[in-house]
Structure 1
Amino acid sequence: MAAILGGGLGGLSTGYYLLKNNLSNNNNLKLLLLEATDYCGGWIKSIKTKDYIFEQGPRTIRPRGTVGLNTLNMMQDLGLSQHVSAIKPDHPAARNRMIYVNNTLHMLPSNLMGVFQKSKPFTKPLIYAVLNDLKSPHKELKDDSIYNFVDRRFGREIADYAISPMICGICAGDAKEISVKFLMKTLFEYEQKDGGVVKGVMKSLFKTKNQEEIEMSELAKQAVEEKWSVYTIKGGLDTIPAVMRQYLKENNVDLQLNCKVEEIQFIDSSLVNLKKGNGEILPANHVYSSIPAHVLANLVSKQHPQLSKLLNDIPFVTVGIVNLYFDTQKPLITPAFGFLVPPMENSPILGVVFDSCCIPDQNGTVLTVMLGGRWFVEKFGSDVTKEKLFDIAVKEIKAILKIDESVSAYHVNILHKCIPQYVVGHYERVAAIREYISSNNLPISLVGSSYDGVGINDVIYSAKTQVEDDVNK
């Protein structure tokens, strides 16, 4: 029997791919999924009414690359194609993205012509950043922060006004700490191997591409042909984990909610005991852990303190989420995806998503404010209340967007230690963790955002690759 720890997207995806492997290889593997809470879906949660949807976590998915196409294949296989709502290149949410600098919202360039024109807050056209990369000397490094890399190759303004807020949007983190080797691997390799990003891009145009081949479903083909920017799910993104959970149940996966594991006891290379809070022991031949690294660290600390320390070395940040609904047909916002705030602005908010522009079937104006992240404790302390976060969010929104209307409905959530930080050296850190597991013949595989990427696509693909790796051993 294989046991899956965690009923978030990583755990559900692991169950999905294990089932697919069982069916294709005519195996009869029994699967057990253990979730500590009463909900499957992890950070993906949607609050739905007839007028609005409040997304508590992710709200859109990118369709590009191998990982993006893989997710679309899974969507179609699960019967979710009809629920997909695509945002195409001509949509305002695809074209219009803003940053807030010096008390002003600035639209970022969205086409080739914009690269040759000067647009605030940049003091020069962005083409100068390309020229800066061409003349910047090569610097041999094993890894670097994204901020240092971009500053070195493209200039300080690009690092401050484009990349730093982007990292706030991706992982609520500080670009001065996040690994460029992990989040921008291809660009970093262009610098290290070819002497610069532009040089690397030019050389790649003349190389035979060795892209991983992936079979594409009709949904994936449609996304490619129509050049989707992002997509979401009608009725809320939590439709995905709900459908996945139902798929697992229909295929006889033993799914246990409110089941908290307190310790993992490794017996040998093919037997592991999962000790529950009530003292009950659940034996398994292999464990797939999709829970956060810091949670897993506590479960293995007695037997494997060294592994526990390695897992705890992956930092996490807390994010405040404030959803706001304004019940008015009066236009309150410029049609756009939203805006991000560079850390140098020293604002309490990381950014705002214009949900009523991005998500279908919204009445009035719906906004989601993200607060804190890497700076959560610094800005709000360790015991801030939801009421305080709401007051801060409303004050900032009304000042930035010049909104006078009262909030008609809202929801506040504090997502404690919700996003891992891929700080410099993350590749080596994860490699050391997996090497320890391999060298000690521990029957456990690691899945999810702690190790392989923070996005929905990354988490799903992490499950796929771990299952395939185990099958091929």
Structure 2
Amino acid sequence: MTTVAVLGGGIGGLAASYYLCKSPQVTKVIVLESSSRFGGWLWSTRRSDGAVFEHGPRGIRPAGAVGRNTLNMVDDLGLGGEILPVTYSHVSSKNRYVYVNRELHRMPSGISGLLRTVPPFSRPLLLSVATEILVKKGKEDDESIHSFVSRRLGKELADIAVDSLCRGVYAGDCRKLSVRSCFPALFNAEQRRGSLTLGMLLGSGPAPVVPSGPLAQRSVEESWAQWSLSRGVESLPESITEYLQRSGRVQLHREAAVQRISPSASGWTITLEDGVMSADHIISALPAKALSSVLPASCQPLIQLLQDIATVTVAVVNLEYEGSVLSVEGFGHLLPSSEDQGLLGVVYDSVPFPQHNRPDGQTTRLTVMMGGAWFQEAFGAPEAVTEERLLARATEAVSSHLGVTTAPSWSRVTLQRDCIPQYYQGHYRRVESMRSFIKEKSLSLSLIGSSYDGVSVNDVIFSGRTAAEELLGTV
């Protein structure tokens, strides 16, 4: 009999449980979630009038092996009919903006955009790409994203485009984040091909083999850039939870905070507030710091490595305005840190997903994201900042950046504490050391989730699949 305990009921823990459930080798899966809901950062508000607002990830990318893998899961769960696809030809895919020098600038796209000098850049981007082939390969085994892009494509691109991108994806500082861990395709392209351009043209290395199911195939045929679900992305963890409940082999526990885990003769003893349970194997989908606080003292080297993984806090402010208030159409705009440290960007939710607007009457939904690596500097301690202050800052940004003069008719402020891990330089070495320690000590423990191998929804789901398959290979 094999009992697997999954610590954490976010999308990573649910995905691992879903893949374990498909194997007859696993008799019982126990999912322990400390909060009152499953799904973690995949969190949608569905208003009674039909409007949907996302407080975490919104559009999910279908591209690559990990994108196909998620779509295969969506297919299997019977959610295909709820997919809201956004194609590459859609205005939200083509129009992405940066806010620089108090002005909105559309990011260059297509051949004409690369050939011309497009503000805020001082020269055509094609020049940076063309000269990049001549740049020598870096000698370091890791490098900050800013240093890497400055060296290969020029400081201006790093200061504006890449700085903004890292704030949009990681809510982080590209001068600290690791290119090897955050953008492995770029790092591998230089290592294997000596050039990003050649790496993109010729491929930069092996990728996991994931066959395309019907939905993944459709995403290619229809050229999807991203997708959501008709009732919001939280439908995905909800569907997995229902699937697990129906399986009869999974025990799902909410409000079950793990206080301590201790190695035992047969695997692990897990101490909860109201009792003790045992498991043959633990898959931890907890954030790195949360796991570090429940491990025994005998795991001190692992505890230290886990504590070294920093996280950032993001304020997410959802706004709804009456009427069509946007002066531009697109996905949204980002700000480089030189423009405004506290404000990361604004997503124009109604453009890619108008289906999430309330069905009666014209409205505009926006999401303003603030803080991240600059939260403390911009707003002070997260526990001391008021919702009123964050809302005022968000509405002021919408007014000054987009010229929206009316007040929002509805708003919601969510403070996502420690929501995005920061992969600083040397992150890959820390993760390697963690897994080496686990192997050396023969601990029946798997590490999954956004703290280690990628922060996207697709990456986290795939880490759950990988851990399940590795475990099933040894059971």
TM-score for both structures, normalised by structure 1: 0.95
2:9–2:39 contact (8 Å) kept in structure 1: yes
Residue 166 of structure 2 is aligned to residue 167 of structure 1: yes
Partner residue, 2:305 = 310
Partner residue, 1:35 = 33
SS at match of 1:112: helix
Map 1:364-375 to 2 at 5 A.
Answer: 364-375=363-374
2:55–2:316 contact (8 Å) kept in structure 1: yes
SS at match of 1:44: coil
Partner residue, 1:17 = 19
Q: Per the alignment, do residues 212 and 453 of structure 1 end up closer, same or farther by CA in structure 2, a change over 3 Å counting?
A: closer
Among 42, 45, 53, which residue is 2:43 paired with? 45
Deviates more, 1:78-87 or 1:105-114: 105-114
Map 1:194-273 to 2 at 5 A.
Answer: 194-201=193-200, 204=202, 211-252=207-248, 253-268=250-265, 270-273=266-269
Give the AA of the match of 1:12.
L
Deviation at 1:200, TM superposition (A): 3.7
Give the AA of the match of 1:287.
I
Residue 345 of structure 2 is aligned to residue 351 of structure 1: yes
Give the AA of the match of 2:259.
E
2:87–2:93 contact (8 Å) kept in structure 1: yes
Deviation at 1:377, TM superposition (A): 0.7
SS at match of 2:298: coil
Gaps of at least 5 residues in structure 2 are: none
CA deviation vs aligned residue, 1:152-179 (integer Å, no higher than 9, x gap): 0000111011111111111101111111
Partner residue, 1:2 = 4
CA distance, structure 2, for counterparts of residue 193 and residue 214 of structure 1: 23
CA distance, structure 1, for counterparts of residue 338 and residue 365 of structure 2: 27
Map 1:287-302 to 2 at 5 A.
Answer: 287-302=282-297
Partner residue, 1:401 = 402
CA distance, structure 2, for counterparts of residue 3 and residue 56 of structure 1: 28
SS at match of 2:138: coil
Partner residue, 1:425 = 426
Deviation at 1:28, TM superposition (A): 4.9
Q: Per the alignment, do residues 154 and 394 of structure 1 end up closer, same or farther by CA in structure 2, a change over 3 Å counting?
A: same
Q: Per the alignment, do residues 311 and 137 of structure 1 end up closer, same or farther by CA in structure 2, a change over 3 Å counting?
A: same
Give the AA of the match of 2:257.
K
CA distance, structure 2, for counterparts of residue 316 and residue 28 of structure 1: 33
Q: State the percentage of identical aligned residues.
A: 37
Partner residue, 1:466 = 467
SS at match of 1:433: helix
Q: Per the alignment, do residues 288 and 210 of structure 1 end up closer, same or farther by CA in structure 2, a change over 3 Å counting?
A: closer
Give the AA of the match of 1:341.
L
Q: Per the alignment, do residues 282 and 67 of structure 1 end up closer, same or farther by CA in structure 2, a change over 3 Å counting?
A: same
Partner residue, 1:391 = 392
Gaps of at least 5 residues in structure 1 are: none
CA deviation vs aligned residue, 1:215-263 (integer Å, no higher than 9, x gap): 2111010001111000111111111111111111111211111111100
CA distance, structure 1, for counterparts of residue 408 and residue 296 of structure 2: 47
Among 265, 277, 283, which residue is 1:282 paired with? 277
2:41–2:55 contact (8 Å) kept in structure 1: yes
Deviation at 1:100, TM superposition (A): 0.3
Q: Per the alignment, do residues 245 and 200 of structure 1 end up closer, same or farther by CA in structure 2, a change over 3 Å counting?
A: closer
CA distance, structure 2, for counterparts of residue 137 and residue 213 of structure 1: 31
Deviation at 1:327, TM superposition (A): 2.0
Deviation at 1:277, TM superposition (A): 1.8
1:168–1:350 contact (8 Å) kept in structure 2: yes
State the superposition RMSD in angstroms. Answer: 1.5
Q: Per the alignment, do residues 311 and 392 of structure 1 end up closer, same or farther by CA in structure 2, a change over 3 Å counting?
A: same
Map 1:441-460 to 2 at 5 A.
Answer: 441-460=442-461
CA deviation vs aligned residue, 1:259-297 (integer Å, no higher than 9, x gap): 1110011114x420110123x111111111101000000
CA distance, structure 2, for counterparts of residue 214 and residue 307 of structure 1: 32
SS at match of 2:75: helix
Partner residue, 1:332 = 326
CA deviation vs aligned residue, 1:20-55 (integer Å, no higher than 9, x gap): 1x1xxx335111111111100001111112252210
1:301–1:307 contact (8 Å) kept in structure 2: no
SS at match of 2:245: helix
Number of equivalences: 463
CA deviation vs aligned residue, 1:317-362 (integer Å, no higher than 9, x gap): 000010000122x343422100000011134210011111122231
Q: Per the alignment, do residues 441 and 136 of structure 1 end up closer, same or farther by CA in structure 2, a change over 3 Å counting?
A: same
Partner residue, 2:83 = 84
Q: Per the alignment, do residues 211 and 142 of structure 1 end up closer, same or farther by CA in structure 2, a change over 3 Å counting?
A: closer
